[in-house]
Amino acid sequence: MTWQKLREIIDDVKEKFQENVEREIYVEKKIAKIIVKKESIIEVARYLRDTHRFDHVKGVTGVDLSRLKEGGGPYIELLYHLGSLEDQELDDVILNLSVMLDIENPIVSSLCSIWPSVELHEREVYDMLGVIFNGHPKLERILLPEYWMDIPPLRKEYKVPGRE
Amino acid sequence: MMLEEKKKIEVYDMGGPRLTFSYGPQHPGTGHFRMTVTVSGDTIVDLEPDPGFVHRGKEKMAEYKTWITNIPHLERPAILDAAGMVIPYCLTVEKLMEVEIPERAKYLRTIVAELDRIASHLYWFSLYGVFLGHTTMFLWCVNDREFILDLSQLITGQRFTHAYYIPGGVRNDAPKQVPKELIKEFKYYYSRMIGREPSQEELSEDFKKYVLAVAHFMELRLDHYYEMFFNSEIFLERVRNIGVLKREDAIRLGVTGTTLRASGVKYDTRVNDPYDAYPFLNFEIPVRDEGDCYARAMVGYQEIRESLKIIRQAVEQMPEGPFKLKQHPLVIKVPKGEAVGRAEAARGEILYYIVSDGTDKPYRLRMITPSFRLLPALKHLTVGARLADIPPIYWSLNYWPVEADR
């Protein structure tokens, strides 16, 4: 039932934001993802929060797509895993709001003003993949040591010492 | 500073300077985790959580290991709750492989997951007790946990970090018989703790009857815990109306697990997004509205009762049959694609996002653990509180540094 509702939400977002939605991936029980343009992420996020009651973010994931053979490219994909605690109909689904960033210059607006729960998750993505979040209140290292000088470790070009 | 609005701070200082110091990482009360605390008098003016002391790079490590060899190391973030860590991984990989596991495997997974939940909660209460000056709670919980771990060992072969779950089922079946030594030990401990000998039926060597006996024993012990700890003035004075997390704050900060349910939100992945054998079983989700340290402890306490209920039903309803799809070789290939999977670990909802490129290793594995999601709440609750309230607030959240750092 709720997966159908998720389908309707995705269609609604597509209709509202037209060309700002690049594409969507919807495989029932597996993944539901909307990929939006970088410039419009704040508007889409605000719309999802206010209209569709996605009230918290479970986590933020960054994926370095540069070595992915199919569908890859010089991008970092950023995913916000959204959920709703208030809306009973949405409690068994996760909507992924995604944005593609250029790997050479990964800068995006922070969503801290929309969902305060993303603050530490965005710091982690900054730490692990070097994504810069504009407007983040405290963009500092969180898991890595403060003296870390190497490239961000979850980038594919980072090799774990002794493993390769 | 966090983005959230700062709480109104009542400062009890006499015009003296503010003091900033490190609470941890070596302090036994925090685990391997530091809080930079600023106090004025004994009121906390600012608190900055600083995780990362036990960061082991699980997500990077997962890209170097195969789908099967990932299992043992992914359960390390919370060794007592190995089931909670690995079940969502297996669920996600099964989504990618598009397989459905056998019925018996579902029940076995559920039983071990609930045993781990009980073991993890008992360990939580033992530390909760000892840091509020209640050493008896520590000793009781750790002792009783022994029989839960023995049960895990009987089923999985290991007391914890079982590496029991594989994509497609579980590694081995539950035994039919229980060793005599274990029955003897159980009889001795039961009569010492409960004050009478267990009945002849409870001393049976039949596996099913033994599980029911241990569940019954734990239930009797929970009554003792309530009288001795949860209803004792020493505990109540430290936790009542301390660290109140309102419902709207809990939702805004995105917390999970017992913390969320103690703030009046009925949200449990076992019911919302059911997996394994949970849809076939009958149990309640404990919820409380107060949102204070006491409510968080009591939700965990009630969860142990519900877990025992689940184990009892699961053991009785468990069907015969295969317990895995097939014997996997050490190297399997998972079809291309991406999937999100989640489950309810002892500390809350745990989420995996996995990208597969069709090879024998994950292209990207993202693990979002419940403890990491509790950090904003830790800051929110401690700012404005007294310094002496840090231990009850910290332990009531059931925050586990290793799990947060991964």
CA dihedral sign, ordered B149, B150, B154, B158: positive
Question: Do A121 and A36 form a contact (C-beta atoms < 8 A)?
Answer: no
Checking if the pLDDT of B3 tops 50, the result is no
Distance CA B270, CA B348 (A): 10
- Total residue count of chain A as it appears in this document: 164
Cβ of B373 within 8 Å of Cβ of A81? The answer is no
Please give the share of chain B, as a percent, with pLDDT higher than 70: 94
Q: Which of the residues B98, B338, B350 would you substitute to probe the A interface, choosing the one with the greatest number of A C-beta atoms within 10 Å?
A: B338
Determine the pLDDT at residue B9.
Answer: 53
Which residues 17-46 of chain A have a CB within 8 Å of chain B? 25, 27, 29-31, 33
Determine the pLDDT at residue B16.
Answer: 64
Hunting for tokens 């009889």 — which residue is that? B187
Determine the pLDDT at residue B2.
Answer: 46
Tell me which chain B residue has its CA closest to the CA of residue A145. B52
Calculate the alpha carbon distances from A104 to A107, A111, A130, B60 in Å: 9, 21, 10, 21
Cβ of B368 within 8 Å of Cβ of A59? The answer is yes
**Residue among B4, B265, B339 whose CB faces A31 most closely:** B339
Determine the pLDDT at residue B116.
Answer: 92
Question: Do B243 and B128 form a contact (C-beta atoms < 8 A)?
Answer: no
CA-based nearest residue to A45, from A108, A111, A95: A111
User: What single letter denotes the amino acid at residue A101?
Assistant: L
Q: For B107-117, how does the pLDDT look when each residue is reduced to its tens digit (9 = 90+)? A: 999 999 999 99
Calculate the alpha carbon distances from B176 to A88, B205, B207, B320, B323 in Å: 42, 8, 5, 12, 14
Between A and B, how many CB-CB pairs are < 8 A?
120
pLDDT bucket at B12, cuts 50 / 70 / 90: low
CA dihedral sign, ordered B117, B123, B129, B132: negative
Distance CA A47, CA A65 (A): 28
**Residue among A55, A61, A116 whose CB faces B4 most closely:** A116
Cβ–Cβ contact A68 with B under 8 A: yes
Determine the pLDDT at residue B287.
Answer: 92
Name the DSSP letter for residue B11.
Answer: -
Q: For B224-243, how does the pLDDT look when each residue is reduced to its tens digit (9 = 90+)? A: 989 888 888 888 888 888 88
Cβ of A143 within 8 Å of Cβ of B51? The answer is yes
The answer, as to whether pTM is greater than 0.95, is: no
pLDDT bucket at B4, cuts 50 / 70 / 90: very low
Checking if the pLDDT of B164 tops 50, the result is yes
Run of H or E including B109: helix B103-131
> What is the least distance, in Å, from the CA of A14 to any CA of chain B?
21
CA-based nearest residue to B265, from B293, B279, B240, B246: B246
Q: What is the mean pLDDT of the segment spanning B249-263?
A: 90
The string of DSSP codes covering B238-271 is HHTTSS---HHHHHHHT--THHHHHTT----HHH
Task: Mark the ranges of chain A whose per-residue pLDDT is less than 50.
Answer: none
Calculate the alpha carbon distances from B46 to A142, B20, B38, B88 in Å: 18, 9, 5, 36
Strands of the B43-50 sheet, one edge to the other: B19-23, B34-40, B43-50
Q: For B319-357, how does the pLDDT look when each residue is reduced to its tens digit (9 = 90+)? A: 888 888 876 667 788 888 889 999 999 999 999 999 998
Q: Which chain B residues are closer than 8 Å to A128 by Cβ?
A: 59
Cβ–Cβ contact A155 with B under 8 A: no
Calculate the alpha carbon distances from B18 to B39, B40, B176, B389 in Å: 6, 5, 64, 18
Hunting for tokens 């960061």 — which residue is that? B55
Can the peptide bond before residue A116 be classed as cis, meaning omega within 30 degrees of 0?
Answer: no
Name the DSSP letter for residue B52.
Answer: -
> What is the least distance, in Å, from the CA of A117 to any CA of chain B?
5
Tell me which chain A residue has its CA closest to the CA of residue B92. A30
**Residue among B1, B4, B357 whose CB faces A138 most closely:** B1
Checking if the pLDDT of B8 tops 60, the result is no
Cβ of A94 within 8 Å of Cβ of B260? The answer is no
- Total residue count of chain B as it appears in this document: 406
Determine the pLDDT at residue A38.
Answer: 87
Of A90 and B87, more confident = B87
Question: Do B370 and B78 form a contact (C-beta atoms < 8 A)?
Answer: no
Distance CA B273, CA B282 (A): 15
Rounded (10°) CA dihedral A119, A124, A126, A130: -170
Q: Which chain A residues are closer than 8 Å to B376 by Cβ?
A: 116-117, 119-120
First to last CA, chain A: 47
Please give the share of chain B, as a percent, with pLDDT higher than 90: 20
Q: What is the mean pLDDT of the segment spanning B165-179?
A: 86
Distance CA A88, CA A85 (A): 7
